[in-house]
Amino acid sequence: MDAYYGASHVLRDIDFSVQGGEIVSILGRNGVGKTTLLKSILGLEVRTLGTITLDGKDITGRPTYLRARAGIGYVPQGRELIPDFSIRDNILMGCYARADRRRLVPDLVRDLFPYLRDNLGRRAGLLSGGQQQQLAIARALASEPRILLLDEPTEGIQPNIVEQIEDTIQRLNKQIGLTIVLVEQNVKFARAASQHFCVIEKGEIAASGAIDALTDDIVRKHMTI
């Protein structure tokens, strides 16, 4: 797959697969195309050439809302919440992508995020950065995704909440079997949580494989500033 913003060629010859029930970490320096890769999968703001398949079905020509309804959830970098909406209403925004169109706060969200559960009427703009990140994940889970795309979910968050978010990601994968594509800068967490990795450098795949193959040499070569 190749991806473009206008005439700018951002991703070149990207070819990777994600098996059901695994976490794949997308690694690399800032500005190499990691976010563009996630947006390409969901069909957001990016023109692509090539083929994207989900469960063997070609979804390349589908609009974003149909890809979401097919089971792709997305937690964007920066969270993109509606600050004047309540926690409940932000979560319910994710329900528009549900196949059954039901609007409810899932039991899974109530179990994973006790603070959100106990403060559903609180405005999203009043939450801390870590609480907002939890809310962004909760909104994505409200769509009942089969695949969750997470764009740097621990960036700029206080350390105690980082641990909670990392634990949540691993619980979603190990206990529920949710497939996750994770853009991450924290190599230690990527190694602990992922089964496979993909390193992007200048818009191309520079290294990939089973997580055990993510050596310190690869990290130094493609991630050290």
Q: What is the pLDDT along the chain (225 residues), one digit of tens a residue?
A: 999 988 899 999 999 899 999 999 999 999 999 999 999 999 998 889 999 999 889 999 899 999 999 999 999 988 899 999 999 999 999 998 888 878 999 999 999 999 999 999 999 999 999 999 999 999 999 999 999 999 999 888 888 888 899 999 999 999 899 999 999 988 999 999 999 999 999 999 999 999 999 999 999 999 986
pTM: 0.94
- Residue 159 confidence (pLDDT): 85
Name the helix (H) or strand (E) containing 38: helix 34-42
Q: Nearest-CA neighbor of 25 among 174, 158, 189, 140?
A: 189
- What is the DSSP code (8-state) at residue 25? E
Placement of tokens 């990691």 in the chain: 34
Cα dihedral across residues 206, 210, 214, 215: positive or negative: negative
- Residue 98 confidence (pLDDT): 87
Give the domains, in start order, of the chain with CATH numbers: 2-80+145-223 (3.40.50.300)
Name the helix (H) or strand (E) containing 26: strand 23-27
Task: Report yes or no: 105 and 56 within 8 Å, Cβ to Cβ.
Answer: no
Task: Report yes or no: 182 and 193 within 8 Å, Cβ to Cβ.
Answer: yes
Structure tokens at 107: 């039991």
- Residue 16 confidence (pLDDT): 87
